Amino acid sequence: MPKRFRLTRRFNTAMTEDGYRRLRRFAQEAGLDEGEALSFLFENFDSVIDDKTFGHRLRMFNSELEARKK
């Protein structure tokens, strides 16, 4: 029997405009709302990310983070 899909956690989050636009586009292409899309991405995180580029992209994001906040 499939697990029942319930959104049990709600939290305020801050996202960049680029990140939010990409989330909305992904959700629309997948036929999901934004919360469902985030649930899918995090439930399947290990199979969704590319291990070869993830570390590099995370380091780049972190190195640019302070400048982007200004």
Place of tokens 């199979």: 47
Q: Is 58 exposed, middle or buried (0-12, 13-18, 19+ CB in 10 A)?
A: exposed
Asked if residue 10 is part of any domain, the answer here is no
Output the pTM of the full model: 0.76
Asked if residue 11 is part of any domain, the answer here is no
Q: Which residues contact 23 (CB under 8 A, 6 or more apart)?
A: 15, 34, 37, 38
pLDDT, tens digit (0-9, with 9 covering 90-100), for 26-35: 999 999 999 9
Asked if residue 6 is part of any domain, the answer here is no
Asked if residue 12 is part of any domain, the answer here is no
Domain residues for the domain of 27 are 17-69
Report how many domains make up the chain.
Answer: 1
% the chain with pLDDT above 70:
94
Asked if residue 2 is part of any domain, the answer here is no
User: What pLDDT was estimated at residue 1?
Assistant: 56
Position 65 confidence tier, pLDDT thresholds 50, 70, 90? confident
